[in-house]
Structure 1
Amino acid sequence: MQSRNVKLDAGNGTLIVLLLITFINIAGFGIVIPLLPFYGQSFGAPAWEITILFSAYSVGQFIGEPLWGRVSDRFGRKPVLLLTVAAIGISYIALAYATDYYTALLLRLVGGIAGGNMGVTQAYVADITPPEKRTARLGLVGAAFSLGFMAGPAIGGLLVIEGIGTAGYRPPLLCAGLLSAIAVIGTIVFLKESRIHIARAEKQQAKILDAMRHPIIGQVLLTTLVATGAFSAMEATYAIWAEVRFDWGPHEVGLTFTMIGALSAFNQAVLAGKFVERFGEAHALAYGLVLAGLAMFFQIFMPNGAWLVGITVFTVIGLSITQPAISGLISLASTPEQQGALLGLNGALSAFARIVGPLIAGALFSTVSIDAPYIFAGLGMLPAAWLALRVGKRIKIQKTQLLHAQANTL
């Protein structure tokens, strides 16, 4: 049975609206992330509890990503987007008035479950896009994500009121809730239902299990798991590391995250595609991981904040190359009807990695040294790069076998 509420390749108008809603929603998320360590400290939480606060959101996303994907297949994309974006906004507002660490932890978990809707957004894009345009348009979703992540930290850094405890973080959290409300209104007014397929859950599960056994897709998903875990270890301790080393506060961290978002958006929209075209998806992924890993490792040797910003630029360049490369590899190795499910699975694995990475980072930061998470993160990118190169070899072997098969038929 099929429901075709929006015809395939519905045009740029619907896509622009969806990208704007994505931008607004992620801007709200970006407001919170750089302030979260300082927000946790306002409750008297040590470093390991702050990293748990980070991980709680990812635990929720790990639950939400496969859940919302299945629900949207059954009931439609639009109602799921409405429900989840509204729930995210409510969680921000409640977080603004949280009175203790454990309430904040619970709200982060709930917000993460609602925030596991990226796969639904990508599925919406896949619904309205022909296969030959799908990878490029999914890249635009990534650029909208990065732009939102650029704007959010700048807003959060400007609105925070330092020196008055937890109440000082209320204005940026309320602003994040307001942005979610705007995204809800945009979804109601401008988006039509896009669902074109109704799939049975057991059939989708079988397809996903088959994909995990695929020699290319399985390796790509494992690369995502290792690389995201390493990066999230650095991300979770960036603010408190910079505070200890260079006496940075929310304003400095917020502005740096703004720079990260702007650079990432530019790279994904302009440079990453050219890099992938020049070297191929697998090698571009490997080179990006090595560059990011080296930058994270050498961060611990930076003498001041200006040098820290400079080395962070290379981390961002490396990571922004990896995102379209991973999407491209999944797209090339999967059938069109599998892409939404596999991108959702990739998002769930990323969420799982963001659970484990911050927990490891918090333990290393508190018990070994403040530099230990960056050594772990930098070295962790190397096995991920090795996996990417293995994918490249498998693709080359498959192409050779295909050429031989074609030659034998002539």
Structure 2
Amino acid sequence: MDKRLPPLLVAVFINIAGFSLILPLLPFYGQVFGAQPFEIGLLFAAYSFGNVFGEIYWGRQSDRWGRRKVLVVTTFIAGLSYIAFAYAPTLWAAIGIRVFSGFFSGTLSVCQGFIADVSAPERRAKTMGYFGAAFSLGIAFGPVLGGVFAGDEVAAESFRLPIFLAGCLSVLASLWCMAVLRDAVEPSGKGRPLPKYSEAFAFVSSEPLLARLFVISFFGIAAFASMEAVYGLWSEANFGWSANDLGFAFLAIGGGGLFAQLVLIGPLVARFGEARVIVMGLALLALSMLLQPVIRLPISGVLLMGVLMTGHSLAFPSAGALLSRNTPPERQGSTMGLLMASNAVGRIIAPPIFGWIYALNMDAPWFAGAAMIALVVLVAFQAVGLLDRQRAAADTN
């Protein structure tokens, strides 16, 4: 591992821990303003909306300024936005602050650019695995802190301390980047070209395998984001859980992702290939959603969310890797940019829709999500068939 990489992984862990710290708080913080399930879904979606523009803008700025400078500035301002969020006067102000925070937190492309700077192409997949592990560790650690420091009453004062802590972690990440992180490549002073989404869309639409991978990613990530949004409301209604309880339940979510990325995905891909691993991951997603309202026990409420994250962490990194490997080098940037934008749209539109479904029937989102993923499994099987035919044709030539 390049010695310049560990400081970035530490920064990713600290930043994601801060971001994920407030996830279990959002359903309860929304209730402070009298938010309905649809509006709580908007609180989740607002962050992703800001993220879309942040990823494009900061990725280009990091080419001009350098990765380190962008990470220092953005994580510091994102930390200040958490303080504003703690004192939001209205629901719509809180939603607006979440958009702002999402914009300044849209730096995954900057981190990936840093990884590309310090990693040889043949080691990049393994390095991205370290990145995914740091991300999942932050997802596992942050919500526990949020739950521990949250109060029991549904009042703004109950959530200010953990939200302040999230801001402090973000500022700490900024200071860490300033003190320790060093750019591997001198900034060029010129930003990368804007993604050519229209060209990428035409290219992906003409490629049956890539089109199916886009469908898999869009609907799978939309379902996962929606389950995150309704899980707090559903567990509160069924088990009487508070934000404190939900914080510990989120430990299973991060733990499932960490287990999948560190232990499962490498051996499974080596034995079965990415396409079949995608099918396995989607099957776990659908099964976990289907069983959640059927078993309806606190212990299963935790364990099945861990299974949900395990399936997510198997399916979507595999889909991204397969898409990248089947895309020509000259189209990599625009195609992966389109994938990121497509996934973000799923995270924006799905949580409010599933919040509205929850308002009609609290169990309906789980069944709707399971049915949606079951249909996506059929698309994944088509991808398996396409790859098998490609290999058979290559073997005969």
Q: By the TM > 0.5 criterion, same fold?
A: yes
Per the alignment, residue 318 of structure 2 pairs with 325
Contact kept in structure 1, 2:219 and 2:376, CA below 8 Å: yes
Once superposed, which parts of structure 1, at least 4 consecutive aligned residues long, lie more than 6 Å away? none
SS of residue matched to 1:193 = coil
| % same residue | 35
SS of residue matched to 2:22 = helix
Amino acid at match of 1:387: V
Per the alignment, residue 379 of structure 1 pairs with 371
Distance 1:106 1:250 in 2: 22
> How far off its partner does 1:127 sit?
2.0
Summarize the Cα distance change of 1:180–1:220 in structure 2 as closer, same or farther, 3 Å threshold: same
Task: Using the TM superposition, name which of 168-177 and 389-398 deviates more.
Answer: 389-398
Contact kept in structure 1, 2:254 and 2:306, CA below 8 Å: no
> How far off its partner does 1:111 sit?
0.8
Per the alignment, residue 3 of structure 1 pairs with none
CA offsets, 1:349-386, max 9 Å, x none? 222111111111111111x2001111111111123222
Per the alignment, residue 117 of structure 1 pairs with 107
Summarize the Cα distance change of 1:19–1:98 in structure 2 as closer, same or farther, 3 Å threshold: same
Out of 37, 50, 55, the residue aligned to residue 47 of structure 1 is: 37
Distance 2:255 2:227 in 1: 19
Contact kept in structure 1, 2:28 and 2:154, CA below 8 Å: no
> How far off its partner does 1:220 sit?
1.6
Are 2:161 and 1:171 aligned?
Answer: yes
Summarize the Cα distance change of 1:216–1:74 in structure 2 as closer, same or farther, 3 Å threshold: farther
Distance 1:203 1:114 in 2: 19
Matches within 5 A, 1:174-189: 174-189=164-179
Per the alignment, residue 246 of structure 2 pairs with 253
Are 2:351 and 1:369 aligned?
Answer: no
Structure 2 residues not aligned, in runs of 5+: none
Per the alignment, residue 98 of structure 1 pairs with 88
Out of 214, 219, 230, the residue aligned to residue 212 of structure 2 is: 219
Contact kept in structure 1, 2:255 and 2:306, CA below 8 Å: no
Out of 111, 130, 137, the residue aligned to residue 147 of structure 1 is: 137
Aligned alpha-carbon RMSD (Å) = 2.2
Distance 2:274 2:54 in 1: 28
Matches within 5 A, 1:311-350: 311-335=304-328, 339=332, 342-350=335-343
TM-score (normalised: structure 2): 0.92
Are 2:48 and 1:61 aligned?
Answer: no
CA offsets, 1:169-228, max 9 Å, x none? 111111111111111112112222245776751686687456534443332222111111
Task: Using the TM superposition, name which of 258-267 and 279-288 deviates more.
Answer: 258-267
Distance 2:56 2:385 in 1: 30
Out of 36, 42, 52, the residue aligned to residue 26 of structure 2 is: 36
Per the alignment, residue 299 of structure 1 pairs with 292
Are 2:258 and 1:265 aligned?
Answer: yes
Amino acid at match of 2:348: I
Contact kept in structure 2, 1:77 and 1:120, CA below 8 Å: yes
> How far off its partner does 1:75 sit?
3.9
Are 2:118 and 1:136 aligned?
Answer: no
Task: Using the TM superposition, name which of 246-255 and 209-218 deviates more.
Answer: 209-218
Distance 1:57 1:339 in 2: 26
Distance 1:194 1:284 in 2: 34
Per the alignment, residue 22 of structure 1 pairs with 12
Structure 1 residues not aligned, in runs of 5+: 1-10, 406-410
Per the alignment, residue 348 of structure 2 pairs with 355
Per the alignment, residue 89 of structure 1 pairs with 79
> How far off its partner does 1:12 sit?
2.6
Contact kept in structure 1, 2:261 and 2:313, CA below 8 Å: yes
Contact kept in structure 2, 1:330 and 1:339, CA below 8 Å: no
CA offsets, 1:88-147, max 9 Å, x none? 211111111222212111100111112221122112111221111111111221111110
SS of residue matched to 1:86 = helix
Per the alignment, residue 4 of structure 1 pairs with none
Summarize the Cα distance change of 1:206–1:59 in structure 2 as closer, same or farther, 3 Å threshold: closer
> How far off its partner does 1:231 sit?
1.7
> How far off its partner does 1:318 sit?
1.5
> How far off its partner does 1:79 sit?
2.7
TM-score (normalised: structure 1): 0.89
Summarize the Cα distance change of 1:97–1:244 in structure 2 as closer, same or farther, 3 Å threshold: same
Amino acid at match of 2:234: W
Amino acid at match of 2:43: L
Per the alignment, residue 201 of structure 1 pairs with 193
Contact kept in structure 2, 1:65 and 1:348, CA below 8 Å: no
> How far off its partner does 1:336 sit?
5.5
Task: Using the TM superposition, name which of 166-175 and 324-333 deviates more.
Answer: 324-333
